[in-house]
């Protein structure tokens, strides 16, 4: 990948970091000044703040597993569409559709936007 193209980006390592609840590995895929927005939550700026926010979220779930079904790249933008299965602390699961939009600066993500309705995770 070059600075001008997100085509061919492999997001598998990043999703593996998320699915293993490894926030340190996850933020390694982001630029130092990255912007991260999860659903309708306010945007979080910078690796340190993003890691704290992600750790806070990880503390509310037992685990998760992402399945990416479709990707589309255009310039430095990559869009991933898929489903994520969340395991609640009580052992139940819920599978939700998501779309992620990544803006790359070189090989790192400078903007990460997650489009998801997370409310069913907490409705039980």
Q: Tell me, what's the pLDDT at 92?
A: 97
Distances (CA, A) of 36 to 42, 59, 85, 89: 9, 18, 20, 25
pLDDT at 52 over 80: yes
pLDDT value at residue 73 = 93
Answer yes or no: is pLDDT of 10 > 90: no
Average pLDDT over residues 113-118: 98
The distance in angstroms from the start CA to the end CA of the chain is 42
Tokens (6 digits) for 14: 């990043």
**pTM for this one?**
0.90
In order of their start, the domains of the chain are: 12-122 (3.10.450.50)
CA-CA distance, 114 to 50, in Å (whole number)? 13
Q: Give the side-chain half-sphere CA count within 13 A for 89.
A: 6
Chain-wide mean pLDDT for the chain? 92
């Amino acid at each position: 990948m070059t600075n001008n193209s997100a085509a061919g980006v492999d997001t598998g390592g990043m999703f593996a970091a998320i699915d293993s609840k490894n926030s340190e590995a996850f933020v390694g895929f982001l630029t130092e000044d990255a912007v991260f927005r999860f659903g309708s939550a306010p945007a979080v700026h910078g690796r340190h703040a993003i890691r704290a926010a992600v750790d806070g979220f990880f503390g509310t779930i037992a685990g998760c597993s992402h399945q990416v079904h479709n990707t589309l790249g255009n310039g430095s933008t990559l869009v991933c569409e898929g489903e994520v299965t969340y395991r609640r602390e009580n052992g139940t699961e819920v599978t939700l559709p998501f779309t992620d939009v990544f803006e790359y600066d070189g090989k790192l993500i400078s903007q990460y936007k997650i489009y998801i309705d997370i409310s069913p995770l907490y409705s039980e």
